[in-house]
Amino acid sequence: MRYLILSDIHANLEALEAVVEEARGSYDEVVCLGDLVGYGADPNAVTDWVRSNAAHVIRGNHDKACCGLEEPTLFNPMARFAVEWTYDKLTDDNRRWLRDLPQGPLDVGPFLMVHGSVLDEDEYILDSRDAAQQFPHMFERLVFFGHTHVQGGFFLRSVNGQPAEGEASPEGLEFRKGDSLMVNPGSVGQPRDYLWTAGYAVYDTEARSVVYHRCPYPLQEAQDKIVRAGLPQSLADRLAVGR
Ligand code: ZN
């Protein structure tokens, strides 16, 4: 089974469509790690696509805020503006669907899905020190996470009988038996790793391999839509720098 792993699409339809087009034929099922909406100009089109195409979806912090489940008190003013804009734009049906999304961790068999971390859906796993706190709670499982918008991964595995921690290479990594693995596919719609291209990953359960991808998309179109929608200019600008 080959899974297309998507996270943090953030209502960027241009990025989502480019990823789907590029990945066509390379996967059997889609999963989504949350933050479908917030920041971008197409919350309904993105939500509709995920509703009809993803086998498993969990909620992110922006989904919670944008459907009215949680007050965006911890959001910066720009993000809060986007939350309120998105809340108004979402159809009642999509708002209801987002409200009903499960919270991670969600065990789908070959792996666990979380938005932030195994212990807290709103926690940021930014470096190997953060990941090390997770390993004791993972029981040698593969965990896909998002939230940081940074493509990458962390592992704890046995090397010559000794436990060794490390980070994924830019191409991807292998999930060996006995590994504890935290993998972030990157953000489809608002990367923050200084690359503007859409991030995603494909996991092949037979090869036990995670492969990272970066996909160019019509950036200008996504930016123009954000500005035309009356969303903050800075939300359009940051897409170009991947930050
Ligand atoms: Zn996000």
Task: Check residue 45 and give its pLDDT.
Answer: 98
Ligand 1 centroid to residue 3 C-alpha, Å: 20
How far is the centre of ligand 1, averaged over its atoms, from the C-alpha of 10 (Å)?
A: 7
What pLDDT does residue 116 have? 98
Question: Residues 82-97: what's their mean pLDDT?
Answer: 98
Distance 138 CA to ligand 1 centre (A): 22
Write the pLDDT tens digit of every residue in 105-134: 999 999 999 999 999 999 999 999 999 999
Q: How far is the CA of 44 from the centre of ligand 1 (A)?
A: 17
State which residues have CB under 5 angstroms from ligand 1, the bound ion.
Answer: 8, 35
CATH number of the domain that 42 lies in?
A: 3.60.21.10
Ligand 1: centre distance to CA 175 (Å)? 25
The range of the structural domain enclosing residue 158 comes to 2-241
What is the whole-number distance in angstroms between the Cα of residue 115 and the centre of ligand 1? 9
Which of 8, 52, 21, 29 is CA-nearest to residue 146? 8
The domain total for the chain is 1
pLDDT tens digits, residue range 62-84? 999 999 999 988 899 999 999 99
- Model confidence, pTM: 0.97
Residue-wise pLDDT tens digits, 137-164 = 999 999 999 999 999 999 999 999 899 9
Question: What interhelical angle do 233-241 and 77-89 show, nearest 10?
Answer: 110
